Amino acid sequence: MFCALLRDSDDFGYFGIDLSDCERTEQHYLENTAILVTRLYDPHGGAIEVMDFAPRFHLHGRTFRPMMLVRRIRRLTGSPRITLRLRPACDEGASRPDMTWGSNHIRYVAPSITLRVTTDASLTALMQETSFFLEDTITLLLGSDETVNEAANEVGRRFLEETTQYWREWVRNLGIPFEWQSEVIRAAITLKLNAYDDTGAIIAAMTTSIPEAAGSTRNWDYRYCWLRDSYFVVNALNRLGATRTMERYLAYIINLAADAGGGPLQPVYGIDGRSELHEREAPALAGYRGMGPVRIGNLAYRQVQHDVYGSAILAATHIFFDQRLTRRGDEALFHRLEALGEQAICCHDQPDAGLWELRGSARVHTFSAVMCWAACDRLAKIAQQLGLPERTDYWNQQAQIIHSTISQRAWNEKRGTFVSTFEGEAMDASLLLLVEVGFLDRSDPRFSATVGSVEKELRRGDFIFRYTEKDDFGEPENAFILCTFWYINALAALDRREEAGVLFAKLLTCRNRHGLLAEHIDPESGELWGNFVQTYSMVGLINAAIRLSIRWDQAF
């Protein structure tokens, strides 16, 4: 409905609030909330404040989170004159919906969805986009086609108060590091916003088709749940004590595993758990800055990516050990997860597309094999926790076999480093995670040697590229932000904390004015590229801050 980011004209696809003769703007999040505050100023002493938020608070014993955007526009000073432009799109950006109206609402009727805006502003001013002087406060409630029985202003005021309280209570319960508190809080709120509470799925980003680099055609739809990305998200949230999001996601992957019935898992699913994410292009949308194509769906669901078994089991491991969780893992769940472990055994040394989702080639990727090892290793630990000695021995044996295979085939003796593929030569940034997932001890000289090779081959200025060899679309032009966070954590693991801290401080300056990160960054200009907000990048920020911060008991 609002796709202006991907359109080449400003005729529709947005919801704008214009101040006549606007000369200055300010924008920030209300502290410790997901409520956006925008202030606009004209040269005549007029100013307005716009507060945008999605309602979210506890009501009648559950979380009230309607499909709704609330916009409250308040006069701050002077005699500001504003214009409201509500122009939704439909048919994937090709046209505008039909419009009907009543006494205090307007309906936008499209084939797939009908939106309704209920407001105490002039409907004529809204429909005809005529300018008017703002005297006090007006409220617009944009959401599903449902009747609002109360006055719009009262609903907006109450929802604002309750939503503010909700977010601040949620933040209050986070276990944050002493340093970089505001940065971590903003990242945590952002991760929570990328979670679909109804099913527990966590999407990779809120957008589609923002290219990884200018004109690269590396334009993908990230509005889906990748098991790998989601594991990193729940792991980060668990470190902060945000267990509810983790619990919901665990329910999501357990259901996926049950649906698979012992068969292979896909790398990515819909937020409703659907498996088919057919990819197509939207011809009416020119793309970000005209850099199409705009894709809807993602063919990665058809790919073979063997690391998914480790991602699923590593996430599920929490349910067997974390006593804060309402639902605890039992033997029945363990046996269900064993089916995923058997898949990991079968495919650990088989070719796949890898975590970077190469579309034109398949190789035996080291990271995929390591995650298959992790699946078996964690199953052994779960079996021991449950008091199942035979299954503990079995999974320990399988983990040792895979560990030995990786150590032989992914280690390049000539180069003195682990490499990205079995019997390969090239490097990729996922090798920085060998200590993070427990495959190597941080004192293992093979790890320091591998980090050194990554530094030499993948570092460009202050950033680490995911890889530098040509792929289906040529050589990568921009750095994958998460990889630099991985590098920072690897430096810390090697007791190079001072270097890690300097690099972390530089990376924080690359965030936008709201403290958010996209997927990629231009190493020369610092411009953000790729889908936004990228959960991977925000996870990297949280993990690095936790690792580098001094402890609370050391701070005073």
Confidence of residue 109 (pLDDT cuts 50, 70, 90): very high
Whether the pLDDT of residue 391 is over 80: the answer is yes
The count of C-alpha atoms lying within 13 angstroms of the C-alpha of 331, restricted to the half-sphere facing its C-beta, is 7
Whether the pLDDT of residue 183 is over 90: the answer is yes
DSSP tag of 354: T
Confidence of residue 259 (pLDDT cuts 50, 70, 90): confident
Please state the pTM of the whole predicted model. Answer: 0.95
Distance, CA of 133 to CA of 79 (rounded, Å): 6
DSSP tag of 545: H
Mean pLDDT of 57-79: 95
Task: State the pLDDT at residue 409.
Answer: 98
Residues of the chain with CATH 1.50.10.10: 173-554
**CB within 8 Å of 116: residues ≥ 6 apart:** 105, 106, 107, 108, 142, 143, 144, 145, 146
Out of 1.10.260.40, 1.10.10.10, 1.50.10.10, 3.10.129.10, the CATH code matching 173-554 is 1.50.10.10
534 and 517 in contact (C-beta within 8 Å)?
Answer: yes
Q: Percent of the chain beyond pLDDT 90? A: 88
Mean pLDDT of 172-184: 96
Tokens 């705009």 found at: 294
Task: State the pLDDT at residue 21.
Answer: 96
Structure tokens of 8?
A: 């080449």
For the ranges 47-61, 174-188, 250-264, 374-388, the lowest mean pLDDT is seen at 250-264
Query: In Å, how far from its chain's centre is CA 209?
Result: 15
What confidence tens digit (pLDDT) does each residue in 116-174 have?
Answer: 999 999 999 999 999 999 999 999 999 999 999 999 999 999 999 999 999 999 999 99
Task: State the pLDDT at residue 325.
Answer: 85
For the ranges 158-172, 239-253, 294-308, 341-355, the lowest mean pLDDT is seen at 239-253
Phi, psi dihedral angles at 287 (to 5 degrees): 105, 170
406 and 434 in contact (C-beta within 8 Å)?
Answer: no
Task: State the pLDDT at residue 470.
Answer: 82
What confidence tens digit (pLDDT) does each residue in 325-337 have?
Answer: 888 899 999 999 9
What confidence tens digit (pLDDT) does each residue in 49-58 have?
Answer: 999 999 999 9
Task: State the pLDDT at residue 469.
Answer: 85
- Name the average pLDDT for the chain: 95
Tokens 């194509």 found at: 293
Distance, CA of 410 to CA of 418 (rounded, Å): 6
44 and 61 in contact (C-beta within 8 Å)?
Answer: no
Task: State the pLDDT at residue 112.
Answer: 86
Whether the pLDDT of residue 408 is over 80: the answer is yes
Residue 19 identity:
L
